[in-house]
A = this chain, B = another copy of it.
């Protein structure tokens, strides 16, 4: 992975092994999710099979990785951050299950597998999404609370990032924008809410689990916001440049649905430039961690360079 341009390694610091980090943390998050969720045999089995089908469909666990990396950057323990990492992944997965419904994006494939409603039917898919959303709060409530960041703070953080002013607002604006002319400002509004809000929340939750300082939470907020925007610009670029097979979902969907995207508004080259600038700003936000945020840096760069 070429990292020189954005991420010059200070003298003597060993290179960070992101592949290893992602592999081990994905395994830890999957194991924790498996413990938190009712088994596939638990009655009514259909709903638990449906929840687990989408939750264990091979997601990249980027949000949990952000939670854990942010906790480490703030000197905390990953074990304290793990329930929060699982909670944001439940939120993310619920939003995908509902977004894929025929009444929304009407997608047949996600992560290379049939979408939830294609396997379990629309009624169960709606309920599986509901159950994952509810499960997220049940899991988050089981995280440790601190005097500085109590359960009240943790729940409010997740609820606000996922609510009608953020995650859901983004989906609504996206839905209402289909087939209409969308300005760059409107597109940014959608991206900030649909993607940035939960990535920002992930970084902040990691910090909160580590009893981070006000300066640290401000830095994580700044970092998460810019990484989130960059992530979505890249998503738009990949939708145009990659095949469905590589993406694991239907490529070219945005164009087909006449959805506004960065490439459609400012062009492919300018979009790449914007993603790089956003990532550079995310890097700048990490200065406060004085070299302790290596995992966050590597994640930001990975998200910029990813090809699927």
Contact = CB atoms under 8 A, between A and B. Distances in A.
A285 interface: no
A142 to B, nearest CB: 8
B123 A103 contact: yes
Contacts of A126: 98, 101, 103-104, 126
A46 B130 contact: no
Interface stretch (A163-171, A205-213, A237-245, A247-255): A163-171
A133 B135 contact: no
A187 B77 CA distance: 47
A155 B139 CA distance: 10
A160 B138 contact: yes
B159 A141 contact: yes
Interface in A130-158: 130-131, 133-135, 137-138, 140-142, 145, 150-152, 155-156, 158
B123 A165 contact: no
A148 to B, nearest CB: 15
A138 B156 contact: yes
Contacts of A101: 122-123, 126
Given A124-B172, A155-B141, A164 B98 contact: no
Contact of A151 (B94, B142, B150): B150
Contacts of A158: 137
A129 interface: yes
18 contacts: A38-B164, A44-B172, A47-B169, A47-B172, A48-B164, A98-B127, A103-B123, A103-B126, A104-B126, A126-B126, A130-B133, A130-B168, A131-B163, A131-B164, A133-B133, A137-B159, A140-B155, A142-B152
Given A104-B126, A141-B159, 5 more contacts: A47-B168, A101-B126, A131-B168, A134-B163, A138-B160
